[in-house]
């Protein structure tokens, strides 16, 4: 989707290492001011795509455009693309302020301007009082903020973040995510975040590109990715869902009727009769022992195996015919239900999803 | 609290064997030498030094020693640094092979290697043949018994002592630093001078110190490659003890060499001390 106001436009990017096809012709574009996440499992090619955009690696085929200019063959130091590396890559022989000043110094800015800019960005990331300290003694979170300030100080056109939170512990991570989002909005910079953490992508992004084996499977707003996943892979990678495989009996009026080990199920979709289909449903749409189920609902029997209390909500793990695991999210702990009990689970046809089999490797 | 803070760190005790060993086999005999150089028939005297430094020949010997050590270190540095960079970037089998190629020559004795250089540096040796073939020389010349030949031979022997310390520092440097500098707008030259070189400095310094000290005190290599006409502090020390049986002269030259080496290594350590935060 090469739109005219795209700031970044990657088209047909291919990369192969030996026999390992890491990127299979990726098209990827980001609008000015947008915050986009590249979400995918380890080894799917996220870092490779990022390095191609930064010019740290050459694609075998395809082109990169930035701000309307073709930069496919422009070397990294002339691209003006900022990168925050996974391990931050701070210069160990320089102080915090010298790290932030590095880009301005090599680009021969005037000393007064360097001083002012460094101060401004250190204040932005709340590290003003650490300016003259060595970077060695900083905590992980502080190092990350130095890396962000260093990248932003040269006013790049685009900021790339490669798993910037993966070195931080969970508690710290959430606070840092919100903090970073605030900083980047304040600066108003277009950002691409690489992550394999779906929650992080959902929290931070305007749009999420879900990657699998060197391809982008879906590129959409977080709510779309969650509510309307376009493939079984996206469904499985973002959030939880019960999956029930079966064969199509009929398919009409946008509703497909599927024969499964749990009985006949209906879900939105169009398929050829007889084809293999997976019906899926998110945990929060399933009701347990609903006395007056809505019309047009699927209804199955399943056995409760475990209750996991999660504070504001509970996860009920059921198992249905054919050893099908079914996860239900309930806002309250069920009183009358003990593990081992059988229950009736219902959800509206319209709340389900249907997918063709996952593409093979 | 106070009692425990004044106690010796138990880990420091691990250095005890090395300290003891160096005391017995190095510091003790060295002190004997130093004391002897100050002893006269009627009590302590600096007469040995005044007469040694009063002789113009001895200043030439000191000059020879420092010049040969300097150029040997320089040649090792210029060849060793790029080699160490290549070694640090290589992976797997290639790296193992390179390491073997660098370390294995250490197992060939200095005498054997030096004799090999005698053959290489002859008038009809391969270096002369190469220089004539490439037109640098009009006719073959003798490299053996020249300072150039000595530096080439010594650099060959000491090269591993330059490469290995640099390599051990380089392999600890995060390879992403170069990439980070590039994304900040640093050209390849700026990346080299502002990142690669400063971070490699500790390795460059240890390598140079080791090679300089070895080259300043080498005895066998100059004896075989250049001969008696050319004296260094080390060969003069050897002559004083072995030929002239002049213990005081030998002790004096040995002490001068020791003081010079310590001085040069300390001053250069101070010159390249880390300046940024560390
Ligand atoms: N320089 C390289 N040489 C050979 N193979 C490489 C190289 N760089 C990456 N690969 C391979 O390419 C694939 C994708 O790597 P990449 O680093 O892009 O994955 P990623 O999505 O960033 O994964 P992670 O979440 O683990 O960082 C991996 O199988 C990796 O082994
Ligand atoms: Mg990666």
pLDDT for residue A332: 80
Alpha helices in chain B (DSSP H): 2-6, 16-22, 28-37, 47-53, 56-89, 92-103, 110-120, 126-133, 147-170, 176-183, 188-191, 197-216, 220-225, 233-242, 247-271
Is the pLDDT at A63 greater than 50? The verdict is yes
- Contact predicate A274/A295, CB 8 Å: no
Q: Assess if residue B176 is contained within a domain.
A: yes
A48 CB less than 6 Å from ligand 1?
Answer: yes
Give the separation between CA B163 and CA A223, rounded to whole angstroms: 57
Element (H, E) at A223: helix A222-227
Considering the domain architecture, whether residues A123 and A60 belong to the same structural domain is answered as yes
Closest of B29, B65, B72, B71 to residue B260, by C-alpha? B65
Total number of domains in chain B: 2
A44 CB less than 6 Å from ligand 1?
Answer: yes
Considering the domain architecture, whether residues A183 and A273 belong to the same structural domain is answered as no
Considering the domain architecture, whether residues A223 and A248 belong to the same structural domain is answered as no
Considering the domain architecture, whether residues A295 and A204 belong to the same structural domain is answered as no
What is the tens place of the pLDDT at every residue in A168-216? 888 788 888 888 999 999 999 999 999 999 999 998 999 999 999 999 9
Considering the domain architecture, whether residues A61 and A161 belong to the same structural domain is answered as yes
Here the CATH number for the domain that contains residue A11 is 3.40.50.300
Residues of A in contact with B181 (CB under 8 A): 91, 102, 106
Task: Mutate one of A56, A75, A89, A142 to test the B interface: name it (highest B CB count within 10 A).
Answer: A89
Alpha helices in A73-191 (DSSP H): 96-106, 111-124, 140-153, 170-187
B278 touching A (Cβ < 8 Å) = yes
Give the separation between CA A144 and CA A269, rounded to whole angstroms: 45
pLDDT for residue B275: 59
A58 CB less than 6 Å from ligand 1?
Answer: no
Considering the domain architecture, whether residues B33 and B111 belong to the same structural domain is answered as no
Q: Assess if residue A151 is contained within a domain.
A: yes
Determine the distance in angstroms separating the CA of A264 from the nearest CA of chain B, rounded to an integer: 55
What is the tens place of the pLDDT at every residue in A233-280? 999 999 999 999 999 999 999 999 999 999 999 999 999 999 999 999
Considering the domain architecture, whether residues A288 and A217 belong to the same structural domain is answered as no
Considering the domain architecture, whether residues A228 and A254 belong to the same structural domain is answered as no
Mean pLDDT along residues A92-107: 96
Q: Which atom, in ligand 1's list, is nearest to the CA of A214?
A: 14
A22 CB less than 6 Å from ligand 1?
Answer: yes
Going by their DSSP bridges, the two strands A190-195 and A6-17 should be labelled as unpaired
Of A192, A208, A236, the last residue of a domain is: A236
Angle between helices B247-271 and B28-37 (to 10 degrees): 120
In chain A, whose CA is at the least distance from the CA of B175?
A89
Regarding pTM above 0.90, the answer is no
Whether residue A106 and residue B181 make contact (CB cut-off 8 A), yes or no, is yes
DSSP B184: T
The sheet carrying A61-66 orders its strands as: A20-31, A6-17, A61-66, A69-70
Here the CATH number for the domain that contains residue B246 is 1.10.3720.10
Burial class (CB in 10 A: 0-12, 13-18, 19+), A110: exposed
pLDDT for residue A56: 97
Considering the domain architecture, whether residues B18 and B128 belong to the same structural domain is answered as no
Mean pLDDT, chain B cut into blocks of 10 residues (278 residues total): 61 92 92 89 88 93 96 97 95 94 90 87 85 87 87 94 96 94 97 95 94 94 90 93 90 93 89 62
Q: Assess if residue A324 is contained within a domain.
A: yes
Range of the domain at A154: 6-236
Considering the domain architecture, whether residues A110 and A39 belong to the same structural domain is answered as yes
Q: Assess if residue A161 is contained within a domain.
A: yes
Q: Assess if residue B93 is contained within a domain.
A: yes
DSSP track, A57-102: S--SEEEEEETTEE-TTS-GGGT-EEEE-TT----TTSBHHHHHHH
Give the separation between CA B201 and CA B56, rounded to whole angstroms: 37
Q: What ipTM was reported for this prediction?
A: 0.85
DSSP A95: B
Q: Assess if residue A1 is contained within a domain.
A: no
Q: Assess if residue A245 is contained within a domain.
A: yes
- Neighbouring C-alpha atoms within 13 Å toward the C-beta of B130: 7
Going by their DSSP bridges, the two strands A190-195 and A35-39 should be labelled as parallel
Whether residue B277 and residue A98 make contact (CB cut-off 8 A), yes or no, is yes
Considering the domain architecture, whether residues B41 and B163 belong to the same structural domain is answered as no
A85 CA to middle of ligand 2, Å? Answer: 10
Considering the domain architecture, whether residues B62 and B200 belong to the same structural domain is answered as yes
Tokens of A352: 């389900």
Give the separation between CA A276 and CA A258, rounded to whole angstroms: 9
Whether residue A135 and residue B277 make contact (CB cut-off 8 A), yes or no, is yes
Cα four-point dihedral sign B63, B136, B221, B110: positive
Task: Mutate one of B173, B179, B183 to test the A interface: name it (highest A CB count within 10 A).
Answer: B183
Considering the domain architecture, whether residues A219 and A76 belong to the same structural domain is answered as yes
pLDDT for residue A167: 78
Q: Assess if residue B51 is contained within a domain.
A: no
Give the separation between CA B93 and CA B72, rounded to whole angstroms: 31
**Counting ligands in written order, which one lies closest to the CA of residue A13?**
1
Q: Assess if residue A178 is contained within a domain.
A: yes
Give the separation between CA A343 and CA A354, rounded to whole angstroms: 24
A179 CA to middle of ligand 2, Å? Answer: 23
Give the separation between CA A156 and CA A67, rounded to whole angstroms: 11
In chain B, whose CA is at the least distance from the CA of A95?
B277
Considering the domain architecture, whether residues B33 and B92 belong to the same structural domain is answered as no
B196 touching A (Cβ < 8 Å) = no
Considering the domain architecture, whether residues B17 and B118 belong to the same structural domain is answered as no
**Counting ligands in written order, which one lies closest to the CA of residue A41?**
1
Is the pLDDT at A310 greater than 90? The verdict is no
Alpha helices in A25-169 (DSSP H): 46-54, 96-106, 111-124, 140-153
Give the angle subtended at the CA of A282 by the CAs of A276 and A287, to the nearest 5°.
Answer: 110
Considering the domain architecture, whether residues A211 and A141 belong to the same structural domain is answered as yes
Q: Assess if residue B116 is contained within a domain.
A: yes
Considering the domain architecture, whether residues A208 and A249 belong to the same structural domain is answered as no
Of A202, A236, A270, the last residue of a domain is: A236
Element (H, E) at A305: strand A297-309
B274 touching A (Cβ < 8 Å) = yes
Q: Give the residue, by CA position, lying nearest to ligand 1 atom 1.
A: A17
Total number of domains in chain A: 2
In chain A, whose CA is at the least distance from the CA of B198?
A93
Burial class (CB in 10 A: 0-12, 13-18, 19+), B252: buried
DSSP B75: H
- Contact predicate B69/B216, CB 8 Å: yes
Which B residues in the span 88-107 are in contact with A, Cβ-Cβ below 8 Å?
none
Residues of B in contact with A133 (CB under 8 A): 277
Could you identify the residue written with the tokens 């040997």? Answer: B72
Considering the domain architecture, whether residues A316 and A227 belong to the same structural domain is answered as no
Tokens of A106: 């090599």
Q: Which of A65-74, A78-87, B143-152, B178-187 has the lowest mean pLDDT?
A: B143-152
Q: Give the residue, by CA position, lying nearest to ligand 1 atom 24.
A: A42
3-class state of residue A130 by DSSP: helix
pLDDT for residue B136: 87
Residues of B in contact with A80 (CB under 8 A): 185
Q: Assess if residue A361 is contained within a domain.
A: no
Q: Assess if residue B278 is contained within a domain.
A: no
Considering the domain architecture, whether residues B72 and B208 belong to the same structural domain is answered as yes
A309 CB less than 6 Å from ligand 1?
Answer: no
Considering the domain architecture, whether residues B35 and B64 belong to the same structural domain is answered as no
Here the CATH number for the domain that contains residue A324 is 2.40.50.140
Whether residue B278 and residue A91 make contact (CB cut-off 8 A), yes or no, is no
Considering the domain architecture, whether residues B93 and B63 belong to the same structural domain is answered as yes
Range of the domain at B23: 11-45
């Amino acid at each position: 989707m090469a739109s005219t106001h795209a700031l970044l436009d990657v088209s047909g990017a291919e990369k192969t290492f030996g026999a390992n096809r890491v990127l299979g012709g990726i098209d990827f574009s980001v609008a000015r001011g947008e915050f986009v996440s590249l979400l995918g499992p380890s080894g799917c090619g996220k870092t490779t795509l990022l390095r191609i955009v930064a010019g740290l690696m050459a694609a075998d085929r395809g082109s990169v455009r930035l701000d309307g200019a073709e930069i496919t063959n422009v070397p990294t130091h002339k691209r003006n693309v900022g990168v925050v590396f996974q391990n931050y890559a701070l210069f160990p022989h320089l102080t915090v302020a010298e790290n932030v000043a590095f880009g301005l110094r090599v680009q021969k800015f005037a000393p007064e301007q360097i001083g002012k800019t460094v101060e401004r960005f250190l204040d932005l990331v709340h590290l003003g009082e650490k300016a003259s300290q060595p970077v060695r003694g900083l905590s992980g979170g502080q190092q990350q903020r130095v890396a962000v300030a260093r990248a932003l100080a040269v006013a790049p056109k685009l900021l790339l973040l490669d798993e910037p939170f993966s070195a931080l512990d969970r508690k710290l991570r959430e606070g840092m995510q919100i903090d970073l989002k605030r900083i980047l909005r304040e600066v108003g910079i277009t950002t691409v975040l690489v992550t394999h953490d779906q929650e992080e992508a959902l929290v931070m992004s305007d749009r999420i590109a879900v990657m699998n084996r060197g391809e982008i499977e879906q590129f959409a707003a977080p709510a779309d990715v969650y509510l309307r996943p376009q493939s079984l892979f996206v469904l499985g990678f973002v959030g939880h869902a019960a999956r029930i495989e079966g064969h199509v009996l009929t398919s009409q009026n946008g509703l497909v009727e599927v024969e499964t080990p749990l009985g006949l199920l209906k879900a939105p979709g169009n398929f050829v009769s007889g084809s293999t289909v997976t019906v899926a449903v998110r945990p929060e749409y399933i009701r347990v022992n609903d006395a007056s189920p809505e019309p047009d609902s699927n209804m199955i029997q399943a056995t409760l195996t475990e209750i996991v209390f999660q504070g504001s909500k509970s996860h009920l793990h059921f198992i249905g015919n054919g050893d099908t695991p079914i996860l239900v999210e309930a806002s309250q702990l069920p009183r009358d239900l003990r593990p081992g009990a059988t229950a009736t689970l219902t959800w509206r046809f319209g709340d389900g999803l249907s997918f063709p089999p996952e593409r093979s490797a | 609290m106070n009692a425990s803070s004044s106690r010796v760190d138990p880990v420091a005790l691990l250095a005890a064997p090395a300290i003891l060993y160096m005391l017995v086999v190095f510091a003790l005999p060295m002190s004997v030498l130093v004391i002897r150089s100050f002893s006269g028939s009627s009590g302590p005297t600096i007469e040995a030094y005044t007469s040694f430094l009063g002789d113009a020949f001895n200043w030439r010997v000191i000059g020879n020693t420092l010049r040969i050590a300097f150029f040997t270190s320089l040649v090792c540095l210029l060849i060793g640094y790029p080699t160490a960079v290549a070694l640090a970037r290589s992976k797997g089998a290639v790296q193992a092979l390179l390491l073997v190629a660098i370390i294995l020559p250490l197992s060939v004795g200095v005498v054997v290697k030096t004799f090999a250089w005698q053959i290489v540096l002859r008038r009809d040796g391969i270096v002369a043949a190469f220089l004539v073939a490439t037109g640098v020389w009009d006719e073959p010349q003798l490299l053996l018994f020249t300072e150039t030949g000595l530096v080439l031979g010594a650099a060959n022997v000491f090269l591993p002592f330059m490469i290995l310390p640099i390599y051990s520092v380089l392999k600890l440097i995060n390879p992403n630093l170069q990439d980070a500098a590039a994304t900040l707008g640093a050209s390849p030259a700026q990346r080299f001078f502002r990142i690669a070189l400063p971070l490699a400095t500790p390795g460059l310094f240890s390598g140079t110190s080791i090679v300089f000290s070895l080259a300043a005190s080498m005895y066998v290599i100059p004896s075989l490659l250049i001969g008696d006409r050319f004296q260094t502090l080390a060969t003069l020390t050897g002559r004083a003890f072995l030929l002239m049986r002049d213990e005081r002269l030998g002790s004096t030259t040995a002490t001068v060499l020791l003081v010079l080496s310590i001085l040069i290594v300390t001053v250069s350590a101070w010159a390249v001390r880390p300046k940024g935060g560390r």
